Amino acid sequence: MNRRVVGWIIGLLVAGLLAAPGVWVVGENTRTTAELERESTLLMANYVPKCGDQELGEGDVCLGGGDEAKSRTEYNETVTPEKLAAKYRTRRLGGYALIGVGALVALVVVLAMARAAIRPRRAPVTSAPRSVASGSATFAAVPGRAVPIIALGVTALLITGSAGTAVWYLGGGPEARAAAENTWAVGRCLHQVDGPTAAPTGSPSATDRLADDKRKTFELIGCDASDAQAKITAVVDVTAAQETQAVGRCPDDTDDVHWVAPADRSEQIACVRRLAAPHPGDPGGGQGQLVTGDCVSVIRANSTTAPNDRIVETPCATKGWFATVTGVVRGTPASDPPCPAGTLSRVLHPVKTGMVACLGQGDGGNIAGPGECLKSLKDAWVPIERVDCGTQTFMFKVVGFAGADGTCEDGDPVALGGYDRRLCGYGWYGGERSDYY
């Protein structure tokens, strides 16, 4: 084989070896806005701050410098959708550079082929009808050289392009895009196709709602479809031991949470916002994240008491709820968290680790403060109903809260569900102090 032809083939192979990885790099680092938002959400949700080799829990401080909150904040700033987009953009530029160099090499080779095809080859002859004089020798043009050379160049370019396309397919290509169409990601919309449509009865906790959701089936659908019901706002990785904490990573305006369990990945939950009202995730709506303005009930452990931290969100439009959330702050009930004025109790947030829900009376809550009365403690279900102190019945009048040691300056200490401290008070009947409550 002619050495020049061998050179052309080698040049085209080099061009393909440069361009094909470039195509792969560009394909692997191309993300839609929804994909960037989903990746950012997952990175933030799954980040675990560390001090050396030790994991930092909520509120922990590293003796080597920094704390859990600061580490998490600094990390979150590095994985925002904008920062991720800049990272992938830089990688794509590298891929484009490889493609450009490969294309340049291919262009040089093709131009060399074209030049050789256009310039006729001359060979000495003894006689020919189209001969011309050139010095002392006579030459004639050899016809038919251009067609094979051009065919070789086109074939080589097709082979190079096919190689690049093959690498693109291996790196994802349209199959990856098709798979993305079936992926639960931020910005995608859902439609329920099977399972119960009514919410669990009573005052279900976040874990109760997740358990109920396993009986439902959803399909991805275009957000402009007439039967689209909700849009995914976040996707969070979760294990069975972290179900409650996973719900706490959803945005504050989350209306519902749904299970995502593809066979090729660990279980996840999708936080969704309904496309139309009513929005139970809005303050007072009764579902979603527990936020300021929501109403809560106390989960009854038995007929008389309930754990202080067992609260569940309840629609404010219903009757008999225990308290309104006056604020959500970092801390623990024992750390004297900075709750706003009007707070009567501080309890652990039901789904957000390291956070406290500040509870107040709001517009109709049963939680009581000093000077108010509760229905007789001996014959009522928890939470105890707040009543008018002038009522002609036996009741318990609250005069204050017990100190850190659990004792009262006046009255008897009483532990009731929903309160972070013991209540101090005594029996009350007909506007006077009584020994019976």
pLDDT of 18 over the 60 cut: yes
Q: Which residues contact 76 (CB under 8 A, 6 or more apart)?
A: 44, 47
Q: Give domain limits for the chain.
A: 3-121+144-179, 189-274, 295-360, 373-434
In the numeric block, the tokens 């009513």 are attached to 278
Q: Higher-confidence residue: 135 or 269?
A: 269
Note the pLDDT tens digit of each residue in 288-305.
888 999 999 887 555 454
Tell me which amino acid residue 193 is: V
pLDDT of amino acid 58: 61
What would the two tokens of residue 126 be? 């003894």
Burial class (CB in 10 A: 0-12, 13-18, 19+), 63: exposed
Angle between helices 81-118 and 3-28 (to 10 degrees): 160
Q: Which residue has the tokens 């929903």?
A: 418
Kindly report the average pLDDT of the chain as a whole number. Answer: 77
Cα–Cα distance measured from residue 41 to residue 76, given in angstroms and rounded to the nearest whole number: 9
Phi and psi at 422, nearest 5°, equal: -70, 145
Q: What is the 3-state secondary structure (H, E, C) of 284-300?
A: CCCCCCCCCCCEEEECC
Q: Please tell me whether residue 231 adopts helix, strand or coil conformation.
A: strand
Provide the whole-model pTM: 0.57
pLDDT for the residue 114 = 77
Report which residue type is found at 65: G
Of 155-169, 186-200, 242-256, 302-316, minimum mean pLDDT range = 155-169
Q: Is the pLDDT of residue 102 over 70?
A: yes
pLDDT of residue 373: 92
For 66, other C-beta atoms within 10 Å of its C-beta total 14
Output the six-digit token pair for 282: 């809005």
What's the CA gap between 262 and 333, in Å, rounded? Answer: 39
User: What's the pLDDT at 134?
Assistant: 45
Most confident of 57-61, 193-197, 259-263, 424-428: 424-428
Q: What is the pLDDT of residues 315-360, one digit of tens each?
A: 999 888 999 999 999 888 888 889 999 999 998 888 887 889 999 9
pLDDT tens digits along 250-262? 888 888 888 886 4
pLDDT at residue number 148: 53
278: cis peptide before it, omega within 30°? yes
Residues 374 and 403 sit within 8 Å (Cβ to Cβ)? no
